[in-house]
Structure 1
Amino acid sequence: MLTKNRGYSLIELMLALLLGSVLLSMVIGLYVTGVSSGAKSLKYSRLRTDLQSIMLIMETDIRRAGYGGSDFLVGSGDTKMVDTFTSDTLKCIVYSYNHDSATAITDTNRMGFKFLPAENEIKFGSGVDPLAAHCDSTGYWEGLSDNNFITITDLTFTESVVSSASASIRSVEIHLSGELAADSDYKYAINTTVQVRNLEL
């Protein structure tokens, strides 16, 4: 006696293949979305970390302005402990502190940070001019930001002073913002206020 073979019909096979293809497409789509989202998160995380690191470097060093004991408190005018300058082409802060036990201010005691929008780079300098308006013409400067990865959109320094008959307390508000060079949709901004620990006499 002959037995009748049972199996899937052609229509059933085609439906199974169709459903399998749909499920596979959904899985691949979820995977690609996850990978893309993860890559973007990593880039944004680096953008944020880089800008926070630059801000921390500036904040820590500016806070030291005037340091050196009672015989080395930076005064006013050309020798004041902090000076800032802002224009469309240059944003700069210069400050002095005694890192080498000097008995008087020398070029090596003058530091600064500057941002030139045309160069899209934040730089740290030593041996700079005591006036921030001239900081781009003197000193030895090294880059802090990676302009291949980050586009710096703004860096500003705003001074404020509280004075008494005997001394002045100076603080600086810093605003820093940037975006990914490859994707301007990813932006990050940070603000901080630095109170200089040493008094101006």
Structure 2
Amino acid sequence: MLLRRASGISLLELLVGMTIGLLLLLAVSGLLVNLLGSQARERRQIRLGAMVDASLSLMAMELRRAGYWDSDGGAGTNPYGRIYIEQSGRCLRYGYDTPPNQPKGGQRYFAFRLKLDDAQRGRLQRLSADEAGWKCDAADAKWDDLSKPDIGIIDTLRFTEDRSDHAIGVEVAAHTPPGGEEEKLDIRTSIALRNRPAVEVR
């Protein structure tokens, strides 16, 4: 009587197949981890860029209004006619009158500054005040945050006078908070002063 040879996969073939499958799984897992890490970095960078861009857009809009005075043709000195750059360029004070066709009144004096907290994390802030409270060292409660440390930490805010173009130069440097690969952003721009207020550096 003839014995039939058993058919199937030998132990050696099974081990080789499992090894190849494991190597393929490791390769795919590595690609997936890299893809997810890249997406996380891109999200962090996009959020940081959007935050800084929104702050700079507000600064640009406000500084273009700086110095506006609705004098109704009357004589006198423009109370909003000066911009002050203080604290080695980390704070800028400006003002403007109520735009036409809007009710008069309200706070017309403003400022932007870089504020460091106890952990030395920088934030962009904006002040709205009356003339008496119009100071770079006004109480912290009077300032509104333009940036959030959980999205981006501001390392540098510097305002400079650009006399050749009657403009204000703005430099902002920021980085993402700890918790992943650090992303950095460094922006330099110039904002034209439409109403041509005088700029005083203190």
* TM-score, with structure 1 as normaliser: 0.79
Deviates more, 1:12-21 or 1:59-68: 59-68
Distance 1:57 1:83 in 2: 18
Tell me the CA shift for residue 100 of structure 1: 5.4
**Relative to structure 1, is the Cα distance of residues 114 and 4 closer, same or farther in structure 2, using a 3 angstrom cutoff?**
same
CA displacement, residues 96-119 of structure 1 (integer Å, 9 cap, x when unaligned)? 1112559xx988211111112346
Match of 1:178 in 2: 174
Match of 2:65 in 1: 64
Q: How many residues align?
A: 189
Q: Which residue type is aligned with residue 174 of structure 2?
A: G
Distance 1:99 1:108 in 2: 9
Deviates more, 1:92-101 or 1:53-62: 92-101
**Identity of counterpart residues, as a percentage?**
24
Distance 1:101 1:135 in 2: 28
Match of 2:108 in 1: 109
* TM-score, with structure 2 as normaliser: 0.78
**Alignment gaps of 5+ in structure 2:** none
Q: 1:83–1:130: 8 Å Cα contact kept in structure 2?
A: no
Map residues 35-184 of structure 1 onto 2, 5 A cutoff.
35-69=36-70, 71=72, 79-87=80-88, 91-99=90-98, 108-118=107-117, 120-127=122-129, 134-137=135-138, 140-161=142-163, 170-182=166-178, 183=180
Distance 2:76 2:50 in 1: 33
Q: Which residue type is aligned with residue 123 of structure 1?
A: Q
Residue 10, structure 1, aligned to residue 7, structure 2: no
**Alignment gaps of 5+ in structure 1:** 163-168
Structure 1 segments, 4+ long, off by >4 Å, are: 68-76, 128-132
